[in-house]
């Protein structure tokens, strides 16, 4: 019997993470993972299967539509993992606006709606559109699905989602959306599976990577989050500014004569840890540096994360658990320690040994709040949602190239 293979796409601003899943009756099962960095020629496809990593250089070079890159990549994946073909593709799409509050099959109409949201996330949304179109061009009959980061936060109240601007603008869609929803969805499910008593309570999840945000969960449901209308808001990130007085933008444009394009590049690509340190947006490099601006960037990050955790605890009316996840949250004990030190007045205390070795639970016995480290898996959520949409033998819509 032919094995049905699902390929998931999780694009960043310059990288693509891939997941390969067998589509079984009771759900998708992981076969392996892969990744490609589009900024480092020659392009290297890094494939992981059963703990073994294989790297293969691609002959194709990245172009505007990615057709050659995706075509070569699909062939390499098919041969390496020894299956007949990939029959479906699931995509992470960062922004779903108000139109998409759950996963969807991709048609010409839904793709147009996704593309219309590009101005709301110029860093990630164009990459998702590019990948969807590339797959449609190369495999026009392949079923494709989209899973939206914003969808998980549609449970938030209008009070939380509203800015203090004229009501008509809220009605037009200028509101607090929230992102990293696929990660938070996975963590909510893992909390229920591993720590059901904590999952029933009030939990703040810290998704800390090159992009970073926090989410307030009550019984596993999103009640508040730090990112809002765009992926710029909230915490300072690798190259993004986080929360900023809008007056700064007005000043740059009106007084200094900057173009909107210049401002956009500054806020998305030249700010955050990179902007403060002047060295790098990578926490690993900053942690290894002896330069004072590097330390200041790390201190600012810990300060802002701890401050926003308190704000979300206020939304929840208390705090029963704190979860660290994503690249920085999972692998950087010093960052977790710096954040938790600032939260000691809330009764948060961590065990230095457990924290240093990245154990799943790092709170000290005397801590009034559970502190956990849970690896996230956005690709699994994409696969689960795609599986729910794609029924074997049922004809699903496809899009034209």
State the catalytic residues: 149
**String of DSSP letters for 149-195:** TTGGGGGS-HHHH--SS-HHHHHTT-S-----HHHHHHHHHHHHHH-
Task: Select from 58, 120, 61, 123 the least CA-distant residue to 95.
Answer: 120
**String of DSSP letters for 231-296:** TTSSS--SS---S--HHHHHIIIIIS---HHHHHHHHHHS-HHHHHHSS-S-HHHHHH---HHHHH
Taking phi over 0 as left and psi of -120 to 50 as alpha, with beta for the rest, 81 belongs to alpha
Task: Select from 145, 144, 174 the least CA-distant residue to 158.
Answer: 174
How far apart are the C-alpha atoms of 87 and 71, rounded to whole Å? 14
Task: Specify the 3-state DSSP secondary structure of 33.
Answer: strand
Cβ neighbours around 329 below 10 Å, total: 24
Instruction: Estimate to the nearest angstrom the gap between the alpha carbon of 38 and the chain centroid.
Output: 18
Is there a contact between 218 and 319 (Cβ–Cβ < 8 Å)?
Answer: no
Task: Specify the 3-state DSSP secondary structure of 40.
Answer: coil
346-383 per-residue burial string, b: 16 or more CB within 10 A, e: under 16: bebbbbeebbeeeeeebbeeebebbbbbbbbbbbbbbb
């Amino acid at each position: 019997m032919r094995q049905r293979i699902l390929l998931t796409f999780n694009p960043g601003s310059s990288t693509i993470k891939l997941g390969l899943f067998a589509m079984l009756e009771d759900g998708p099962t992981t076969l392996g993972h892969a990744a490609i960095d589009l900024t480092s020629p020659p392009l290297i496809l890094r494939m992981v299967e059963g703990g073994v990593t294989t790297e293969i250089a691609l002959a194709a070079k990245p172009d505007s539509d990615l057709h050659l890159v995706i075509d070569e990549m699909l062939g390499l994946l098919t041969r390496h993992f020894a299956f007949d073909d990939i029959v479906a593709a699931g995509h992470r799409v960062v922004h779903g606006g108000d139109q998409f509050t759950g996963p969807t099959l991709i048609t010409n109409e839904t793709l147009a709606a996704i593309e219309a949201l590009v101005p709301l996330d110029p860093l990630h949304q164009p990459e998702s559109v590019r990948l969807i179109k590339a797959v449609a061009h190369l495999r026009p009959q392949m079923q494709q699905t989209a899973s939206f980061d914003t969808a998980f936060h549609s449970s938030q109240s209008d009070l939380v989602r509203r800015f203090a601007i004229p009501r008509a603008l809220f009605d037009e869609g200028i509101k607090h959306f929230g992102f990293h929803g696929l990660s938070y969805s996975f963590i909510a499910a893992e909390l229920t599976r591993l720590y059901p008593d904590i999952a029933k309570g009030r939990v703040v999840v810290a998704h800390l990577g090159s992009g970073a945000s926090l989410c307030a969960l009550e019984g596993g449901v999103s009640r508040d989050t730090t990112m809002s209308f765009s992926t710029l808001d909230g915490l300072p990130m690798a190259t993004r500014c986080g929360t900023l007085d809008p007056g700064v933008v007005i000043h740059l444009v009106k007084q200094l004569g900057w173009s909107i394009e210049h401002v956009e590049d500054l806020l998305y690509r030249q700010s955050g840890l990179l902007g403060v340190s002047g060295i790098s947006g990578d926490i690993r490099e900053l942690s290894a540096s002896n330069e004072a601006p590097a330390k200041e960037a790390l201190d600012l990050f810990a300060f802002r994360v701890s401050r926003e955790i308190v704000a979300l605890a206020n939304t929840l009316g208390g705090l029963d658990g704190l979860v660290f996840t994503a690249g920085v949250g999972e692998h950087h004990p010093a960052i977790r320690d710096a954040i938790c030190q600032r939260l000691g007045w809330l009764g948060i205390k961590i065990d230095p040994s457990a924290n240093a070795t990245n154990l799943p639970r790092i709170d000290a016995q005397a801590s009034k709040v559970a502190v956990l480290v849970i690896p996230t898996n956005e690709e699994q959520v994409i696969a689960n949602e795609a599986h729910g949409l794609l029924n074997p033998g049922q004809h699903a819509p496809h899009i034209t190239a």
